[in-house]
């Protein structure tokens, strides 16, 4: 597959923004864990902002349940699975981003060293005409994910072969504190079933983008 062309993607977003006639544009970036969603969304937000289209990245990962809530549900060993996210909270934020364009909306981020969401980390300002929101389950068919999809102008699927994707994922877990053995086990046992679930929905995306 050809290298990701940020110019083409930026042009696609600015066309959507032009057509939206002042309405905020929400583009979803989906893909299996480690495929490069966050990297792509950060680069594209920077590019659009530099080109005069202020854009901000809003990660679905901000809606990870905190460890205290995962422990209550005995889900600590499944972090990253669909049931470990506050999907309705994320849906509500997307609706707020559509409706509340006259004041700042604060979105949660996800801190990878702590592996915890951090409330009110990301400012979506009235000037942000473009929101790039990225995560695993934007195209999932379980409730309430179809309602999430319905809030998005387009959803792009980031594609990376399983070999490179899994090795980047192991490296990322190690970088944030896991031993290589624990990282590999987590990728095999926790991330992989989630990846299969995400990949099964790739056909419903508006565009397939090669990983950055």
Ligand X SMILES: Nc1ncnc2c1ncn2[C@@H]1O[C@H](COP(=O)(O)OP(=O)(O)O)[C@@H](O)[C@H]1O
Applying CB under 6 A, which residues contact ligand X? Answer: 31, 33-39, 168, 172, 212
With a CB cutoff of 8 Å and minimum separation 6, the contacts of 70 are 76, 78, 79, 84
Least distance to ligand X from the beta carbon of 79, Å?
13
DSSP SS3 for 189: helix
How are beta strands 25-30 and 154-159 bridged, if at all? parallel
CA 164, 30, 83 angle in degrees (round to 5)? 100
What is the Cα–Cα distance from 65 to 57, expressed in whole angstroms? 20
Least distance to ligand X from the beta carbon of 127, Å?
25
Closer residue to Mg ion, CB minimum distance, 129 or 168: 168
Least distance to ligand X from the beta carbon of 35, Å?
4
Closer residue to Mg ion, CB minimum distance, 109 or 145: 109
DSSP per position, 122-158: EEE-TT--EEEEEES-TT--STTHHHHHHT-SEEEEE
Half-sphere exposure of 40 (CA within 13 A, CB side): 31
Least distance to ligand X from the beta carbon of 28, Å?
13
Q: 36 touches which of ligand X, Mg ion, none (CB within 5 to 8 A by kind)?
A: ligand X
Q: Pick from 200, 210, 102: which is nearest to 156 by CA?
A: 210
Q: Which residues between 16 and 75 bind Mg ion (CB under 5 A)?
A: 38
Closer residue to ligand X, CB minimum distance, 17 or 160: 160
What is the Cα–Cα distance from 138 to 89, expressed in whole angstroms? 13
Least distance to ligand X from the beta carbon of 37, Å?
3
Q: 212 touches which of ligand X, Mg ion, none (CB within 5 to 8 A by kind)?
A: ligand X
Q: If binding is defined by CB under 5 A, does position 194 make contact with Mg ion?
A: no
Least distance to Mg ion from the beta carbon of 198, Å?
12
With a CB cutoff of 8 Å and minimum separation 6, the contacts of 92 are none
Q: 62 touches which of ligand X, Mg ion, none (CB within 5 to 8 A by kind)?
A: none
Closer residue to ligand X, CB minimum distance, 36 or 62: 36
Closer residue to Mg ion, CB minimum distance, 17 or 60: 60
Nearest-CB residue to Mg ion?
38
């Amino acid at each position: 597959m050809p290298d990701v062309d940020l110019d083409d993607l930026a042009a696609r977003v600015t066309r959507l923004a032009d057509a939206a006639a002042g309405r905020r544009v929400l583009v979803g970036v989906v893909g299996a864990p480690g495929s490069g969603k966050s990297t792509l969304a950060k680069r594209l937000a920077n590019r659009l902002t530099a080109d005069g289209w202020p854009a901000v990245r809003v990660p679905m990962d901000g809606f990870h349940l905190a460890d205290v809530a995962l422990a209550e549900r005995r889900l600590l060993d499944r972090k990253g699975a669909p049931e470990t996210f506050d999907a309705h909270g994320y849906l509500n934020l997307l609706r707020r981003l559509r409706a509340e364009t006259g004041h700042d909306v604060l979105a949660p981020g996800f801190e990878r060293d702590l592996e915890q969401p951090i409330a009110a980390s990301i400012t979506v300002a009235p000037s942000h005409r473009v929101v790039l929101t990225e995560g695993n389950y934007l195209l999932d068919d379980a409730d309430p994910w179809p309602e999430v999809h319905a809030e998005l102008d387009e959803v792009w699927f980031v594609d990376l072969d399983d070999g490179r994707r899994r090795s980047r994922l192991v490296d990322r877990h190690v970088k944030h504190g896991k031993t290589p053995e624990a990282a590999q086990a987590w990728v095999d046992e926790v991330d992989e079933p989630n990846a299969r679930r995400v990949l099964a929905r790739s056909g419903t995306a508006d565009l397939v983008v090669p990983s950055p």
